[in-house]
Amino acid sequence: MDGLNYLTVAYLGMIAGIAIWTWTVVTRSKSIEARLAAVEASVGVSASDADAIAKKVDE
Amino acid sequence: MAARSAEALLGVGFLGIMATLYLGFQWAPSVSIDAFESPAAQRIFYWHVPAAWAAFIAFAVLFAGSAMWFFKRSPLGWRLHVAGAEAGLACGLITVWSGCVWGAAEWGTPWDWTDVRLNTFGLLTLLALFLVLGRQSQPDGVETRDTFSTFGLYGFILVPLTYIATRIWEIRHPGPVIGTGDDSGSLAGDMAIVLLLGALSFTVFILGHILMSMRITGLEQRLEQVQHQIDGGN
């Protein structure tokens, strides 16, 4: 294999790594946001209560 | 708002990373064909070095978060710990992968077990892997957090060791080409500009990832809290 082939393999691997990592993080964020909204809606937690819960988590 | 900021940083960072790749191929001069076994493969350096830099930022965040959790029991500290470990793992793997491919092209072997920098950086990446997988397999609790924070605190010693490794024991990994403090830096001006753009882009990108990861951990904690309330707790 010559240097250019090594370079291609390296960059394709890194692009795939960055793409998979970013895709995983963004979809995880969207998914958990949707789950949280659904759970809060199902138990009737209002936006202000949700903020209070979020504050409690931070304490 | 926080999600939007994180996504904006990810987008800007990604564009910068891609611009670095383009400039690295199209604009930056090639190295002397006499100085390298595989001169073409040297262009890996435009992502390899910035990824390693971003990994160090992530490990610094991991250290700060571990300390904040361990000494202050700060939930923000725990979120920083989680974000730092995930970002450190991703950037560490990118660095190790690109380094191995370059090593295969230049040295004829992807890894040298006698080289201090390769091994300390490999250990750092393994530490991040342990922290990410360990957190996913263990129930969340004070003891679990304490254990992983301890690893985050003590593991950080590998960061300065990795940084100075090629200055003290230059075995196989090339020594520093910028910031050497004397005239021994051998990087051409155009190369340095592309490398700087890469470092800035990876820094912005990793900050976006860290913010995103912290937000996810916060949402997970909030979800647990709501579920706890549904189950009859307070």
Instruction: Tell me how far apart the alpha carbons of residues B83 and B209 are, in angstroms, rounded to a whole number.
Output: 8
Measure CB to CB from residue B97 to each of A3, A17, A57 and give the nearest one.
Answer: A17
Measure CB to CB from residue B222 to each of A4, A11, A53 and give the nearest one.
Answer: A53
For residues B178 and A4, the model is more confident at: A4
Q: Do A14 and B43 touch (CB under 8 A)?
A: no
Q: For residue B93, list chain A residues with Cβ-Cβ distance below 8 A.
A: 17
Q: Is A21 on the interface with B (CB under 8 A)?
A: yes
For residues B32 and B27, the model is more confident at: B27
Separation in Å, CA of A1 to nearest CA in chain B: 8
pLDDT tens figures, B136-195: 898 888 999 999 999 999 999 898 898 888 777 777 777 766 666 565 556 778 888 999
Domain boundaries defined on chain A: 33-59
Reported pTM: 0.86
Instruction: Tell me how far apart the alpha carbons of residues B122 and A7 are, in angstroms, rounded to a whole number.
Output: 21
pLDDT at B151: 94
Integer-rounded Cα radius of gyration of chain B:
20
Instruction: Tell me how far apart the alpha carbons of residues B185 and B180 are, in angstroms, rounded to a whole number.
Output: 6
Which among B200, B205, B198 is positioned nearest to B23, based on CA atoms? B198
Separation in Å, CA of A58 to nearest CA in chain B: 6
Give exposure, B127-144, as e/b (b: 16+ Cβ within 10 Å). bbeebbeebeeeeeeeee
pLDDT tens figures, B107-130: 888 888 988 889 999 999 999 999
Residue A55 in this model has a pLDDT that exceeds 80: no
pLDDT at B31: 73
